[in-house]
Amino acid sequence: MITPILDVMQTIPSFVYLIPVVMLLGIGKVPGLLAVCIYALPPIVRLTNLGIRLVDADVMEAATSFGANYKQRLWGVQVPLALPNIFAGVNQTIMMALAMVVIASMIGVKGLGVPVLRAISNQYLALGLMNGLAIVALAIIFDRVSQQYGKRLQKHREGGHGV
Amino acid sequence: MVSDIKVSIKNLYKIFGSDPQSVLGEAQAGMSKADLLETHGHVLGLKDVNIDIQARGVQVIMGLSGSGKSTLIRHINRLIEPTAGEIIIDGEDVLAMSEEELLAFRRFKASMVFQKFGLLPHRTVEDNAAYGLTIQGMDKAEAIEKSSYWVKRVGLAGFENHYPAQLSGGMQQRVGLARALATDAEILLMDEAFSALDPLIRTDMQDVLLDLQSELHKTIIFITHDLDEALRIGDDIAILRDGAVIQQGSPQEIVLNPADDYVRDFIKDINRARVLEVSSVMESKKPRSGIKVEKTMVVEEALQISNANDNKPLIVTEDGKAIGSVSLEAMIAAIARPEKDAERNPEYR
Ligand SMILES: Nc1ncnc2c1ncn2[C@@H]1O[C@H](COP(=O)(O)OP(=O)(O)OP(=O)(O)O)[C@@H](O)[C@H]1O
Ligand SMILES: [Mg+2]
């Protein structure tokens, strides 16, 4: 049921939904945030879903056999075992959100996107380059931090030979 | 009289497919697994299974791959729903249990050990062993303390903080066993628990299990496709083929009177001398003199004793009283491998 929605969210050009968003909510931070969410959320939803599906059926069966209920299975088994995929999703989402800063600045969101937008419209090469690189630097920092955090949550994968 | 039957399985059928109920009638009328698959595209998983399982004993369920062993054991804790039939445990119908009752049953009454271990890879050995207790709702520290006893009993002291991936297969299954024992469940379900282990480790694990069982007296339902394992740990053996039980009995009965060629094939390579007890091969006449042996002694041992005493017949005793005798010839005849087409049990053909 949710897959077609995700498909639409991912394929529709962002300018298309900027129009109704701006019409309804005007210009500012809130519509900007909404636009970013529409654009950036699908990967995390998809990858979390995939990760949970890929959880080893034998482990799930064992949990069930000990009387784990729905919640205990979800939080005790599925989510922890799906973490690698969930983190891949988090990562994608962060990257895509950053990619949206320039577009979001078009509807009045302040930040690094604004100078980039100005650089584009005035053909200021140096300004565009510097701010573009700043966005890249941010992306790299977020990426490393989130990956490191994900690794820390998955201590058990170190030095083993797979279960 | 209160019977000592812990688990009673009655007329159990399981059919896999899109509409099992529609073909149940034909299966109940006796259609074979192959025919059912061919004409209706449904798989007959279990066919009219009736087994009474004694409390505090080891019930082995044996059969070749695909015979329905895993399907059967999963009915006992309802990991699989039957198509028809009854499962009564301690007088209570498992199939009539509500969701809540079923959870409680799985938490407190029956625990399971799996062929592929089914350990939680993100939890340490002690956390895994405590899993069942935490699911019961026990506080984590208390659960770990209580289960640490079982971690030690299965020989994993010192490995409490290791993750499953850091352990060998044999050690992982010890964790699986500790996890199942920690909940104090009366029923232990073991689906080919030792099949993934190499032969030496497997014997080790059988020893661990037998040792624990001699003091815990749980009702153990043990699946295997290995007859040596079945004979070694089973008090009673049920043999499955194509989802139907074709013979149930003590190891002695199965070795002495295999029901058909399928069972005969199973037992043809076993060391009969190590399975048969002297009581199974004795005659009732009681010689006045001779060496006394207990009736549960296996033939292998009795042969050695007889051989060391000029091959004289031995007196078989029960609680110190003579009940019969065994001659060397009788013992040798009993351990000879029977011909496949021997006319010993024509009634089964
Ligand atoms: N979910 C299912 N859907 C369809 N058929 C199934 C399903 N589960 C089991 N079967 C079939 O039921 C039969 C019994 O399978 P089961 O797994 O119980 O055998 P087994 O005796 O445990 O074999 P093994 O020794 O390989 O574990 C097989 O023919 C199998 O194909
Ligand atoms: Mg199986």
Instruction: Give the number of other CB atoms < 10 A from CB of residue B214.
Output: 8
Ligand 1 centroid – CA B72 distance (Å): 9
Q: Is any Cβ of chain B less than 8 angstroms from the Cβ of A65?
A: yes
Check if B115 has its Cβ closer than 6 Å to any atom of ligand 1: no
Q: Nearest by CB to B118, from A61, A69, A156: name it.
A: A61
pTM for this model (two decimals): 0.86
Q: Is any Cβ of chain A less than 8 angstroms from the Cβ of B262?
A: no
Asked if the ipTM is above 0.95, the reply is no
Contact of A37 with A100, CB cutoff 8 Å:
no
Check if B80 has its Cβ closer than 6 Å to any atom of ligand 1: no
Ligand 1 atom nearest the C-alpha of B223 is: 22
Q: With a cut of 50, list the residues of chain A below it in pLDDT.
A: 162-163
Chain mean pLDDT for chain B: 92
Q: What is the pLDDT of residue B346?
A: 47
Q: Nearest by CB to B79, from A65, A68, A72: name it.
A: A65
Beta-carbon contacts below 8 Å between A and B: 87
- Report the share of chain B in percent with pLDDT over 90: 75
Q: Which residues of B touch A155 (CB under 8 A)?
A: 163
Q: Which residues of A touch B112 (CB under 8 A)?
A: 62, 65-66
R_g of chain B, CA atoms, integer Å: 23
* Residue that has been written with the tokens 């024509």 in this structure: B346
Q: Which element (helix H / strand E) includes B325? A: strand B321-326
Tell me how far apart the alpha carbons of residues A145 and A136 are, in angstroms, rounded to a whole number.
Answer: 14
Closest ligand, as measured to the CA of B114: 2
* Residue that has been written with the tokens 């592929």 in this structure: B116
Q: Which residue among B14, B32, B36, B70 is best mutated to probe the pocket of ligand 1, counting the most ligand atoms within 8 A of its Cβ?
A: B70
Ligand 2 centroid – CA B225 distance (Å): 9
Name the residue with the closest Cα to ligand 1, atom 10: B45
Q: What is the pLDDT of residue B39?
A: 93
Among B200, B240, B273, B183, CA closest to B48: B240
- Report the share of chain B in percent with pLDDT over 70: 96
* Tokens of residue A39, six digits: 């654009």
Tell me how far apart the alpha carbons of residues B26 and B22 are, in angstroms, rounded to a whole number.
Answer: 8
Asked if the model's pLDDT at residue B7 lies above 90, the reply is: yes
Check if B63 has its Cβ closer than 6 Å to any atom of ligand 1: yes
Contact of B110 with B167, CB cutoff 8 Å:
no
Q: Is any Cβ of chain A less than 8 angstroms from the Cβ of B131?
A: yes
Ligand 2 centroid – CA B188 distance (Å): 16
Q: How confident is the model at residue B202 (pLDDT cuts 50, 70, 90)?
A: very high
DSSP B255-303: HHS-SSHHHHHHHTTS-HHHH-BHHHH-BS---SSS-EEETT-BHHHHH
CA dihedral sign of residues A96, A102, A103, A105: positive
Strands of the sheet with B110-113, listed across from one edge: B110-113, B187-191, B219-224, B58-63, B236-241, B244-249
Q: What is the pLDDT of residue B338?
A: 67
Beta carbons of B111 and A162 less than 8 Å apart: no
* Helix/strand/coil for B247: strand
Q: Which residues of A touch B100 (CB under 8 A)?
A: none
Q: Which residues of B touch A66 (CB under 8 A)?
A: 106-107, 111-112, 131-132, 135, 179, 183
Tell me how far apart the alpha carbons of residues B97 and B81 are, in angstroms, rounded to a whole number.
Answer: 12
Q: Is any Cβ of chain B less than 8 angstroms from the Cβ of A63?
A: yes
Q: How confident is the model at residue B349 (pLDDT cuts 50, 70, 90)?
A: very low
Q: What is the pLDDT of residue B234?
A: 95
Kindly report, residue by residue over B75-102, the tens digit of the pLDDT.
999 999 999 999 999 999 999 999 999 9
- Give every CB contact of residue B67 below 8 A, 6+ residues apart in sequence: B240, B241, B242, B243
Q: How confident is the model at residue B348 (pLDDT cuts 50, 70, 90)?
A: very low
